[in-house]
A = this chain, B = another copy of it.
Amino acid sequence: MRRLAEIIIIGDEILGGYTIDTNSAWISRQLSKCGIETVRKQVVSDLFPEIHLALSRVGNDTELVFITGGLGPTRDDRTKNAIAEFFGGKLILNESYLEELRQRFARMNRPFNENNISQAYVPDNAEAIPNRNGTALGLHFQVDRKEWFVMPGVPMEMKGMMEESILPMICREDANAWTEISLRTTGIFESALAEIVEPKFENYSDLKLAYYPGPQGVDLRIGGPRGERLEAAAAMLREFLQEWYYADGTKDLSALLGEMLVKRGMKMAVAESCTGGLIAHRITANPGSSEWFLEGVVCYSNEAKIHYLGVKQETLEEYGAVSEATVVEMAEGLLQRSKADLTVAVSGIAGPGGGSLEKPVGATFIAAAMKDKTVAQQFCFFRGREKNKEFAAQAALNLARKIVQELV
């Protein structure tokens, strides 16, 4: 039987929409890896009656409750008091933690004041959870046949507590536990993917199959009891979908590409027009990317395409900046002028302006070049400037993957 969880987010910044809640999504994904399903979420303000209402609404079906936000040192932070009171506990000063806090502040040369002392109070009906990345302790209540975990709203602090203390406590190694394997694909629409996958999956009707489309492609999730059968279904799909499958879980395509290049001792460079730096930004988001990424050129103007990449004036005049001929010259020019073993180039019309009947907004050309091979592809995206950039960047990284894997 799957275990069920609920999440309560406390805080006016989230409620007012000034901060986007990413914590609850992260928590749910971690839980699903342990076979725990999130069934409800609530977002409430930091007032006592609102916090109490949210706590009272947690369902009888729920075994685990995760609460974030409102554990800071200021007056706004009422979560600890509100929950302790709701469960009939009272706050007790933890002398040894107070001393630890004083020493930490002294080491950092920061003044220690009354507000900070409040951080050392712990409800007498809860266990404290250590916080390696901040001063607010987490709390663990066991009430009403449920486990209640209270964590700070700062993502780094919440994640640290989950990974170091909470997940090891709740993730049982149950041989039959429900789990999911997520296969990331790109370059194929959800409907087309379903059409080819469904017949192949007929023998696995005991497993659950779901499609999650996003700007970077479609994630295919296979759910079922942990074990060989689930692994076999995943292995079959990885092999069958080779052209589109690139990684398990939540790994970014740029990270996968980096691993492939490091393994082969290759380095890459990028030439971007319509993606405007997004490909380089995604690549350099990976720690250690300087090992395999040399340089990027964002050439918005024709002059820049000529100056940095040696694109010919005639090519630009004859075919236009958004053309296969131009991206091929961009990719090959960068390969010659840099020390890279692999280059990708993108040119397109991101919109909203600049489109024509022949080359509408979203028309995008992508090329990838290696020493003895250049490949190019044409796309037409139509989702608005922001999404067009995202789609084009993903398509470019995918073409780079495919040229390295000799799939094009």
Interface residues of A (CB under 8 A from B): 13-22, 24-29, 32, 37-45, 50, 57, 156, 212, 214, 219, 221, 270, 272, 274-281, 283-285, 287-290, 293-301, 303-304, 307-308, 337-339, 350-354, 383-386, 389
| Contact residues in B for A293 (Cβ distance below 8 Å) | 300
Question: Which residue in chain B gives the minimum CB-CB distance to A270?
Answer: B298
Question: What are 8 contact pairs spanning A and B, CB under 8 A?
Answer: A13-B212, A14-B25, A16-B29, A19-B214, A287-B351, A290-B301, A295-B301, A296-B296
A13 — which chain B residues lie within 8 A by C-beta? Answer: 212
List 7 extra interface pairs beyond A15-B28, A272-B280, CB under 8 A: A13-B212, A41-B44, A277-B280, A280-B298, A295-B304, A301-B339, A307-B338
Q: Using Cβ atoms and an 8 Å threshold, which residues of chain B touch A383? A: 156
Contact A276 B285 (CB under 8 A): yes
Q: Are B276 and A283 in contact (CB under 8 A)?
A: yes
Q: Are A41 and B38 in contact (CB under 8 A)?
A: no
Option from B15, B25, B39, B298 in Cβ contact (under 8 Å) with A45:
B39
Q: Are B281 and A281 in contact (CB under 8 A)?
A: yes
Q: So how many copies of this chain end up in the complex?
A: 2
A284 close to B294 (CB less than 8 A): no
Describe A's contact surface by its main secondary structure.
mixed
3 residue pairs, one from A and one from B, having the closest CB atoms: A276-B284, A277-B280, A17-B28
Contacts of A44 in B (CB 8 A): 39-41
CB neighbours of A156 from chain B (8 A): 383-384
Q: Which of A25, A39, A298, A350 has the most CB of B within 10 A?
A: A298
Q: How far is the CB of A53 from chain B (nearest CB, A)?
A: 8
Q: Determine how close the nearest CB of chain B comes to the CB of A405; give it in whole angstroms.
A: 24
Chain B residues whose CB sits within 8 angstroms of the CB of A38 once the complex forms: 15-17
Which partner residue on chain B sits nearest A27 by CB separation? B17
Given known contacts A40-B43, A294-B301, A338-B304, A280 and B284 CB-to-CB distance under 8 angstroms: no
Docked Cα-Cα span, A353 to B281, in Å, equals 18
- Kindly list chain B residues whose C-beta atoms are within 8 Å of the C-beta of A290: 300-301, 354
Minimum CB–CB distance from A21 to chain B (whole Å) comes to: 7
A198 to nearest B CB, angstroms? Answer: 14
Chain B residues with CB under 8 Å of A295's CB are 297-301, 303-304, 308
Q: Which residue of B lies closest to A156 (CB)?
A: B384
In whole angstroms, how far apart are the Cα atoms of A279 and B38 in the complex?
37
Which residue on B lies nearest to A37, using beta carbons? B16
The docked-state distance in angstroms from the alpha carbon of A278 to that of B281 is 5
How far apart are A233's CB and chain B's nearest CB, in angstroms? 19
User: Distance (Å) between the CB of A194 and the closest chain B CB?
Assistant: 11
Residues of chain B within 8 A (CB-CB) of A32 are 16-17
Bound form: Cα–Cα A283–B278 in Å: 11
Residues of B within 8 A of A285 (CB): 276, 385-386, 389
* Contact between chains at B288 and A353 (CB < 8 Å): yes
**A281→B350 CA distance, assembly (Å):** 12
Most B Cβ at <10 Å: residue of A214, A272, A279:
A272
Question: What's the least CB distance linking A319 to chain B, in Å?
Answer: 18
Counting chain B CB atoms within 10 Å of each CB, which of A212, A276, A294, A338 scores highest? A276
